[in-house]
Structure 1
Amino acid sequence: MPSPHRTATRHRVTALLATVLVLLTASACSGPTPAGAPGPSSTAGHGAVAGAEEVAEPPLMLLSVDERGEVGLIDLLDGAASAVGRIGAPRALASDGRYAFVTTDAGIEVVDSGAWTWDHVDHFHYYRAAPAILGAVRGEGAAVVATGPLATAGSTGIFFEGSGEAVLLDNEALSKGRIEEGFRLRTGAARGIVAPWGEGAVIAVDRVLRYHDASGTPSGAEAVCADPAGSITTRAGLAIGCADGAVLVTGDASAPVFERIVFPDDGSRPAGYDGRKGRPTVAGVTGGDGFVLLDTRERAWSRVATGRPLVRAVAIDDEAGHVVALDGEGRIRVYADGAEIAATAPLVVGDPGAASLWADAQRAYLGSPAEGVVREIDYADGARIARTIETPTRPVFFAEVGR
């Protein structure tokens, strides 16, 4: 169990800001939406859900799933631990910062952590509610999950590789405890992506990207994307990885604009992208000795040679190009402007490729499934190990939630 020594010191500025923001009138919450990205509707309620409590700072927690499917939560501020329930044996986990979308024999089982942040660009709202296991989205084979920027609005996309089905979930319904599918389409493809955009999604199959509205109706706008792999929503738009680079989706959700960002060289491509939620720059491991950065605001790529194989890379900020990476020996390595500035001893027992890595504005969290622990790393302080956390269930998979 972690000690509660990490008190409001870590979040003092955040808490003071949030406390002031809670006192603002509703009219102050009509700030700008991300450039190029469709924002939430004016009726979305700033993330509020009946029965949820608005709190003054991010309700950060770790949600852990053990090999039998037991789900637990641990509060990162006060150390309080709780059991949530049981799902099927997990094979993979994706998260948007509130929900865990866990691949099991049932398809995708959805766990609501009951902790989330509403990002309003110039300020944030934070909420807590009771955690719950919401049920399963039926599907066959491996599942590719793509999440949107908000937990209570927009959608979540799932592509089931076994059946070639593209499924869109309604996030507003999820926030009220219901699993509702906006659409389920049989694509006939063995691989694909269903990337949320506005109230619908961009579906990537058979070398084509095409926007579909919330009912599944396709629009006329489309773009070529050979071998799509990896998608992420940033401050500047929706990025989808392609064989020759990426396609950035911007503009109004009803009339999306597809912009191609081509690799500047013939180097290898990443299989996916990761970055701190809500930032414009994302990172991807190329499979070689390095990583790439995609600045979706500047529409620009950069490559960083590390001299060692990496298995994960998470972009932290934009100005200094900070990246937290996990190498093939289980070490955390921190980079800024392409140079390594800190590294740890090996922290993962067994295969580092099986380890989960999450990062927020101040800490990174690295799981070591064979040990059943999560390590909290202060990446801005020489990659110092701030503490070792024993979660309520031995985490085969875990996610940081409340972000």
Structure 2
Amino acid sequence: MTTILATRRLLLPAATLSLTALLVGCTSGESTSSPATADATATTATTATSAAKEPVEVRVAHQRLAVSHDGGVTIVDVTPGSEPRELTTVDAEGYLRLNPAGDDRHVFVSTAEGFQVLDMGAWSEGHDDHFHHYAGDPALTDRVIKASKPGHVVAGEGHVVLFDDGTGEVTTLDTAATDLPVTSAFTLTPHHGIAVPSGHDYLVTTVGDDGKTRTGIAVVDVNGKELQAFHECPGTHGAAEAHNAVLFGCTDGALIWKNGATSKVAAPDAYGRIGNQASVPSSPIVLGDYKVDKDADLERPTRVTLIDTRTGDLKLVELGTSYTFRSLGMSESGTPVVLGTDGSLHILDAESGTVARTIPVLGEWEESLEWQDPRPTLLIDGETAYVTDSATKELFVIDLQSGETTATLTLSHVPDEVTGA
């Protein structure tokens, strides 16, 4: 174990929304720092427009999902106690990716121009021992953080960090302010990377080169100055927070960064790639995928990993069915869930590393050879699972505790990605 910045405590959000939406959702894949000032980057963003209808205070919190499709994003109301319904659809061109901003209100839509801010139009504000809830019309604002190839988005306590794979620019925004101002920006060597906020003074980033080779992680300050680097993680991809630790996937296992120290988790195979993960801050367990054929055009794995970030213990769980990078989720209580191509949700026991039960939801399906093609997708918020079926255009709402499908909505468009604010 290598110690780094031991006095710094990792600060990431304690939101109930599973980090699947933040960190699961790409398939592959890059550090000499080149600091840039916040003032310089602020010019890349335009002023946000207000929602069409001014928000008003409401009795209960309105819960909404953003669902991408060919030609735009549909916002769906899934407030408990009422039937799900589509609120509006905003037009946008290109292959659209969705990531929550971490402020319980906004979503970043990755477009050809960069990271565009979608105002979901509903949020809650704490006041002493209670909350005030507000709701209005969703709107795709004209606020865009320019990026030539918008990549990973990671929210931390009071901040959200955007990574431009094309230029290597890392931009941090303040999510405590409604207009999401830029607080810092710097440039790394371009690669398919990720940056995780750690308090207000440091970030943990992937390390890569011009050849798109990722070798590990580095701790940098807000100007991009490298303080420490660790190269024990070939093919670094994805990051998941779990109980004050962050786990990064590698092609030979995983790397855990915790309390200023790193430790390596070795895969049981020489090539054992963990590239996509799901976690919640309250649980020390991270759910990850697991692939063993580095030469496969498309591997259809049937095993997943459960890693305890307290001990580094890795368990392989055989599902008996394949799954995809949009199949992983974790409930607020720390229950790992996998959507299989058999159409069922596989509920895992995090401690024993076994499948505890299955919940049938869809019919059987097969992953497309093209990773951008729509496919069934899982999102978990609290103890509720949302599953989309691209074949039928349906959205299913499942109570994970009872196993009951509580609502179904037929969407107007073929769903692709789905996230919540």
Superposition TM-score, scaled by structure 1 size: 0.71
Contact 1:36-1:237 within 8 A present in 2 as well: no
Q: Distance in 1 between matches of 2:376 and 2:321?
A: 18
Provide the residue aligned with 1:192 in structure 2: 193
Worse-matched range after superposition: 290-299 or 175-184: 175-184
Distance in 2 between the 1:117 and 1:71 partners?
21
Greater fraction helix: 1
Q: Which residue of 2 aligns with 1:5?
A: none
Unaligned runs of 5+ in 2: 1-7, 14-53, 209-214, 292-300, 369-373
**Structure 2 SS opposite 1:140:** coil
- Give secondary structure in 2 for the equivalent of 1:339: strand
Offset of residue 84 of structure 1: 6.4
Q: CA deviation at 1:357?
A: 1.0
In structure 1, what is the Cα distance between the partners aligned to 2:60 and 2:67? 22
Cα RMSD for the two superposed structures:
3.4
**Higher RCO, Cα 8 Å, sep 6+:** 2
2:117 to 110, 116, 138: 110
Q: How does 1:149-164 map to 2 (within 5 A)?
A: 149-150=156-157, 153-158=158-163, 160-161=164-165, 163-164=166-167
Q: 2:316 aligns with which of 299, 303, 320?
A: 303
Letter in 2 for 1:94: N
Deviates more, 1:281-290 or 1:86-95: 86-95
1:126 and 1:89 mapped to 2: Cα distance?
A: 37
CA distance in 2: counterparts of 1:349 and 1:279, whole angstroms: 31
Between the aligned partners of 1:303 and 1:98, the Cα distance in structure 2 is 36
Q: Is the 8 A contact 1:74 1:392 kept in 2?
A: no
Could you report, residue by residue, the CA deviation over 1:31-80 in whole angstroms, capped at 9, with x for unpaired residues? xxxx942378xxxxxxxxxx988988764322223321144231422346
Counterpart AA for 2:278: D
* SS in structure 2 at match of 1:396: coil
- For residues 99 and 367 of structure 2, the distance between their equivalents in structure 1, rounded to whole angstroms, comes to 19
Instruction: State the Cα distance separating 1:125 from its structure 2 match.
Output: 6.0
CA distance in structure 2 between the aligned counterparts of 1:328 and 1:118, rounded to whole angstroms: 39
Report the number of matched residues.
Answer: 338
Deviation at 1:330, TM superposition (A): 3.4
Match of 1:280 in 2: 284
Does the CA-based 8 Å contact 2:328-2:337 persist in structure 1? yes
- The CA distance in 2 between the partners of 1:124 and 1:221, in whole Å, is 42
| Displacement of 1:236 | 1.8
- Separation of aligned partners in 1, 2:281 and 2:11: 16
Instruction: Identify which of 340, 363, 375 aligns with 2:396.
Output: 375
CA separation of 1:154/1:56 partners in 2, compared to 1, >3 Å: closer, same or farther?
Answer: farther
User: Is 1:87 matched up with 2:95?
Assistant: no
For 2:180 and 2:332, locate their aligned partners in 1 and report how far apart those are by CA, in whole Å.
35
The verdict on how the C-alpha distance between 1:238 and 1:53 changes in structure 2, with shifts beyond 3 A counting, is farther
CA pair 317-136 structure 1, distance change in 2 beyond 3 A? closer
Any idea what SS the aligned residue of 2:175 has?
A: helix
**Match of residue 176 from structure 1:** 178
Letter in 1 for 2:275: A
The answer as to 2:305 corresponding to 1:292 is yes
Relative to 1, partners in 2 of residues 1:71 and 1:137: Cα closer, same or farther, differing over 3 Å? farther
Partners in 2 of 1:262 and 1:54 — Cα distance?
Answer: 48
Aligned to 2:108: 101
1:4-403 residue pairs with structure 2 within 5 A? Answer: 36-38=9-11, 59-77=62-80, 78-79=82-83, 81-83=86-88, 85-95=90-100, 96=102, 98-115=105-122, 128=134, 130=136, 131-134=138-141, 135-141=143-149, 143-150=150-157, 153-158=158-163, 160-161=164-165, 163-172=166-175, 175-178=177-180, 180=182, 182-185=184-187, 187-199=188-200, 200-206=202-208, 207-214=215-222, 216-224=223-231, 225-251=233-259, 257-263=260-266, 265-266=268-269, 268-276=272-280, 278-287=282-291, 288-311=301-324, 312-316=327-331, 322-336=335-349, 337=352, 338-344=354-360, 346-347=362-363, 351=367, 354-381=375-402, 383-391=403-411, 395-401=415-421
1:171 is displaced (CA, Å) by 3.1
Query: What residue ranges of structure 1 are gaps of 5+ in the alignment?
Result: 1-34, 41-50, 252-256
TM-score normalised to the size of structure 2?
A: 0.69
1:290 and 1:125 mapped to 2: Cα distance? Answer: 42
